[in-house]
Amino acid sequence: MRITKWLPPAFLLAVLLLVLGEMGARLFFAKSVSGRFEYGYSLNAGFDECPDGTVKLIRAGGRRFHPQSFKKHRPPGTFRVFVIGDSVPRGPSFKGGYPWLLGQELRERDIQAESVNMALPGYGAQRCQVVLRKALEFEPSLIILHVNDSNKYEDEREYRRSQEFKSWHPRNWPMKVFIFRRLYEAKMEKVFWRLVPEQVRLKFAVNDPDAQVAASENASEVRDRIKVARETTAASVALAQAHHVPLLLVTQCRLLTDGTRSFHFEDHGLDDLGRSLTGQGVYHLSMKEVFSPLPHARSYFSDSGHLKRSGHLLLAQAIIGKIRQAHQHLGLTAFNIELQSKSY
Amino acid sequence: MSFITWQYLLFLPLVLVLYWQLPGRGRLVLLLVASYFFYACWDVRFLALVLATTIIDYLCALSIDGKKTGTVWVLLLALLPGVWLSGCSLFLPASGINWLIVAAAVAMGLAFFTGHELIWRLAPEKRRRAYLILSICFCLSILGFFKYFGFFLDSAHNLLTFMGLQPNRVLLQIILPVGISFYTFQSLGYVIDVYRGQSPACASLLTFATYDAFFPQMVSGPIERGRHLIPQLERTQVFSPDYLQDGICLILVGFFKKVFVADNCAILANYAFAPGTPLNGYWAVLGVMAFAFQIYGDFSGYTDIARGSAKLLGIDLAENFRFPYFSRNPSEFWGRWHISLSTWFRDYLYIPLGGNRGAKWETIRNLGVTMLLAGLWHGANWVFVLWGAYHGVLLILYRVAPALRFLGDEKSSSLGRGILAVALMWILTLAGWAIFRSANVHQLGLWLAALGHWQAGISLPWASSALWLLIHIAPLLLLQILTWKYRDETSLGHLPWPARGLIYTLMLLLIVSSTEHDTEFIYFQF
């Protein structure tokens, strides 16, 4: 009687429902939420390792992988390529990105290849390294690390968030309840992102894009980014070498225009970085070198950094060229003659 | 400190625990300290303004009531805001208080002291009136300077420039203190009530200061009347579990309205009314509808949290919203929207001007003046004046046009006519919100022009965004339907407990699904 005076049945029911919901969420949604609040610094987020030995890449834990699957242990005779990077290698669509096109090109050359797109939008060198660490567990034949310098701001911001979330701070308390997290994510990813146009969302979340733009234009920020990208990429190379996994560094370039028809490419020193890191099992491909000789290079770009599908195809073929050069080191005993360019 | 911060969620339980442990006067001391702390979290300097308003109105009300306060005591109190600012200057150098500001505060205190002492020498009836005028002049001067001085200076500059003159521009960076319109009006209302004999002067400075700065309602209302709140503060409350239940329920509904409804509708409204946004008719309508629910959810949500917080302390605050979007005419709308402000203007401006007792043109004049000032109360911007004028015109039209008066008749039992009247009033209210939300007259013009363009290519696709809006207003409408019969937006007590339990759970889940962005309450700027 006294308890119901203080806690009436309606409140008790609400608490009971929340407790049940929490238990249900922990049972049924544990996979998709795991790592979400490590903001990309979780080793396992998005990698769903099934009991039958299949690894599924899922959109979970803040990692919006293109859904794909592969066997945990590389099937004999398979040339397995993992592409790690940001929104550039992720592509305008799954089949429009160079990782998928690369797989197609390799299979066209009778190579039993699987090319897995592990690129994630907004991922800089630090978070790419976390993905690389996980990818090394799955016996890759080659890892393509797309090196860019434009996401350091996001890397830092997400790192800060991940640390904040681990803290005792009361503002994070509600989201430590599993059911709340799940609901919040479901709303953000399935309702907010789908229903509200991107332009509206960007205008609403005015702070982050503003800071991003400011950071991308500030000269000292650019220098700082290159320094961090250089150090982190060097560490990633060392990591791959320690696992005896060949690594191809694809260095990003930026298309700069002056408002007229003229344009040029800028690599922010990433090409020098790529060249300096080549060595035992480490190869380098410069996007600038691929695109700058082309008379209509501009037509391959959808903006200053992102490629159209035709640009991805061109890049995939350039990677094929690199693979062909190094095919013996990569364990490819035969490599068919070069095919004519074509579109899929 | 805002209600929707984690700080408040720690602050409130702490105050509650201490409050119910302390004896009578101790509770008032706690409430006053907590209220000043709550306000100082925004800006410690502006506590001087709260102190000044409190002291002026406390002393004037006592004098109006014929109670003489000792000269030394008046002098000390009058200098208190200056002392506070001196303290800020000495101990908080970053506050930017210099000795010029301190000197101005001291001079103001001395001017008040001199006026106060001189007026006491007048004959009793003249004296009462003079103290009322003294209070009104000082309080409105503070409000006028901090809220409207820059606005009128800018407007005068623009006007002179428009006339071909080249005036020197005087730039004053005046920060608008949070909640200044609310506590100034609340304090003024109290003094006028004392003058009219509708309320006794509060003898205790502690009680009056707590009334003036009571943290749940200080910065965004409801604007409380002294005769309603002061007796509750003076009464020694005995804790009841009902306070806990009712308070938590109100706070939950308030958070639901603010975090789930208002903040999500704000995404669309902010986009539609952002400078440079290409608008077509669909987005113009969508944007203003989103804003209508944003401002309603935001402000009524704030009020519910304020009422809930006060309820946890055993104190009832006035109801401020009662289904405003179901009004059939503008008069009913103002009886349901921001009730404490509209009744303030009714009691202290409209009725003293003559109300509707005189000739028709006098009623029209009184309505016009009242609504213009009510518009200006909302902010130092011509769009607010225009918004007030627009509502004034609506009130007048519904009085003079027989067809509108017939349609908006509240006593009519015809369902069809009722629906038509509510629909028309809703459209008229939306047009008013378009004025209110526009940053300036130019943007309002763009919004109106967009209503003439319904081609899809001009703006973003609108259908999915409309669905987003619907998702966020449907639960609110459902809540309103459930509570409509009981004439209280938050009254869920009549529902069976399992239904209430489900509603509480659902509301909590909807709140936590929307915690991405911290957005401030709209009415803080007023």
Cis bond leading into A67, ω under 30°? no
Band of residue B141 on the pLDDT scale cut at 50, 70, 90: very high
Residue B340 lies in a domain: no
- CB-based contacts of B161, cutoff 8 Å, min separation 6: B167
Question: Over the stretch B416-464, which tens digit does the pLDDT of each residue have?
Answer: 888 999 999 999 999 999 999 998 889 999 999 999 888 877 788 889 9
Cβ neighbourhood burial of B27 (10 Å; 0-12, 13-18, 19+): buried
* Residue B296 or B99, more confident: B296
How close is the nearest chain A Cα to the Cα of B147, in Å? 27
Contact A204, B271 (CB under 8 A): yes
Residue B412 lies in a domain: no
User: From CA B148, how far away is CA B368, in angstroms rounded?
Assistant: 20
Alpha helices per DSSP H over B169-312: 180-196, 205-213, 226-234, 241-255, 263-272, 281-312
Task: Tell if the CB–CB gap between B515 and A11 is shorter than 8 Å.
Answer: no
Residues of A in contact with B287 (CB under 8 A): none
Give the closest residue to A179 by CA, choosing from A28, A14, A43, A11: A28
Residue A62 lies in a domain: no
* The predicted structure's pLDDT at residue A197: 81
Q: Which of B210, B234, B258 is the last residue of a domain?
A: B234
How close is the nearest chain B Cα to the Cα of A276, in Å? 43
Residue A42 lies in a domain: no
Band of residue B518 on the pLDDT scale cut at 50, 70, 90: low
Least confident piece of the model among A145-159, B20-34, B112-126: A145-159
Torsions phi, psi for A64 (to 5 deg): -95, 65
Contact A154, A212 (CB under 8 A): yes
Interface test with B, best of A11, A179, A180, A188 (most B CBs within 10 A): A11
pLDDT in tens, chain A (344 residues): 566 677 788 888 988 999 998 888 788 777 766 777 788 898 998 999 999 999 999 887 778 899 999 999 999 989 999 999 999 999 999 999 999 999 999 998 888 999 999 999 889 899 999 999 999 999 999 999 999 887 777 787 788 778 877 888 877 777 778 788 778 877 876 777 778 887 777 665 444 444 454 555 567 766 776 787 788 999 999 999 999 999 999 999 988 877 667 788 988 888 999 999 999 899 999 999 999 999 888 899 998 889 999 999 999 999 999 998 888 888 877 665 454 444 43
In chain A, the number of structural domains is 2
The answer on A139 and A16 residing in a single domain is no
Asked if residue B166 has pLDDT above 90, the reply is no
* The predicted structure's pLDDT at residue B13: 94
User: From CA B3, how far away is CA B7, in angstroms rounded?
Assistant: 8
Q: Does this model's pTM top 0.90?
A: no
Q: Which of B183, B217, B234 is the last residue of a domain?
A: B234
Residue A117 lies in a domain: yes
Asked if residue B367 has pLDDT above 60, the reply is yes
Please tell me if residue A11 touches chain B, with a CB cutoff of 8 Å.
yes
Tokens matching residue B210? 């707590």
* The predicted structure's pLDDT at residue A343: 40
Q: Which of B234, B265, B284 is the last residue of a domain?
A: B234
Which domain does B471 fall in, by range? 242-328+450-525
Residue B380 lies in a domain: no
Please tell me if residue A204 touches chain B, with a CB cutoff of 8 Å.
yes
Contact B288, B433 (CB under 8 A): yes
Give the closest residue to B427 by CA, choosing from B411, B404, B445, B406: B404
Please tell me if residue B104 touches chain A, with a CB cutoff of 8 Å.
no
The answer on A141 and A94 residing in a single domain is yes
The answer on A254 and A127 residing in a single domain is yes
The answer on A291 and A223 residing in a single domain is yes
The answer on B257 and B196 residing in a single domain is no
Residue B335 lies in a domain: no
Look-up: residue for tokens 């009971």?
Answer: A16
* The predicted structure's pLDDT at residue B16: 95
Which domain does A27 fall in, by range? 2-33
The answer on B185 and B69 residing in a single domain is yes
In chain B, the number of structural domains is 2
User: From CA B409, how far away is CA B421, in angstroms rounded?
Assistant: 8
* The predicted structure's pLDDT at residue B107: 94
Task: Tell if the CB–CB gap between A11 and B248 is shorter than 8 Å.
Answer: yes
Interface TM-score (ipTM) > 0.90: no
How close is the nearest chain A Cα to the Cα of B89, in Å? 32
Question: Over the stretch B463-479, which tens digit does the pLDDT of each residue have?
Answer: 999 999 999 999 999 99
* Residue A30 or B509, more confident: B509
Task: Tell if the CB–CB gap between B515 and A184 is shorter than 8 Å.
Answer: yes
User: From CA B299, how far away is CA B307, in angstroms rounded?
Assistant: 12
What does the H/E/C string look like for B134-154? Answer: HHHHHHHHHHHHHHHHHHHHH
Residue A233 lies in a domain: yes
How close is the nearest chain A Cα to the Cα of B502, in Å? 6
Residue A211 lies in a domain: no
Q: Which of A14, A174, A196 sits opposite B501 (nearest CB)?
A: A14
- Among residues B116, B338, B378, B391, which one is catalytic? B378
Least confident piece of the model among A193-197, A225-229, B358-362, B494-498: A225-229
Residue A155 lies in a domain: no
Task: Tell if the CB–CB gap between B464 and A183 is shorter than 8 Å.
Answer: no
Asked if residue B344 has pLDDT above 70, the reply is yes
Please tell me if residue A244 touches chain B, with a CB cutoff of 8 Å.
no
Question: Over the stretch B249-306, which tens digit does the pLDDT of each residue have?
Answer: 999 999 999 999 998 899 899 889 988 888 889 999 999 999 999 999 999 999 999 9
Residue B432 lies in a domain: no
Q: Which of B266, B500, B517 sits opposite A10 (nearest CB)?
A: B500
CATH code of the domain in which A91 resides = 3.40.50.1110
The answer on B152 and B53 residing in a single domain is yes
